[in-house]
Amino acid sequence: MKITEETIKHVAELSRLEFKEDEIGGFTAQMSDIIKMAEQLSAVDTTGVPETVQIVDRDTTFREDKPEHWQDRDTMLKNVPEKANGYIKVPVIINKDDND
């Protein structure tokens, strides 16, 4: 598969990414290299090779799920940067319209 500057521009538009014109050539070369590596990997015969899901041997450690008494509210809130009326104050991430 040949990667062209037009391909990169098209993918950037679909992804809503903005690149400077002088960056397009570098991304084209990088993407071409990535596609070539993927094509090389697909040419490798993996018949009889089991799937690799996890490369590190890890056993899941379970513990009993039991409630514990933590600290009281005032002790927990003493490390909070902003609080109001006994609650943690967080930045607004959704602004409401005046009509709501």
Residue 100 has pLDDT above 60, yes or no: no
Residue 33: C-alpha distances to residues 8, 21, 82 (Å)? 13, 20, 49
Q: How far apart are CA 56 and CA 6, in angstroms?
A: 41
- Mind listing the pLDDT tens digit for each residue in 18-54? 999 999 999 999 999 999 999 998 889 989 998 887 7
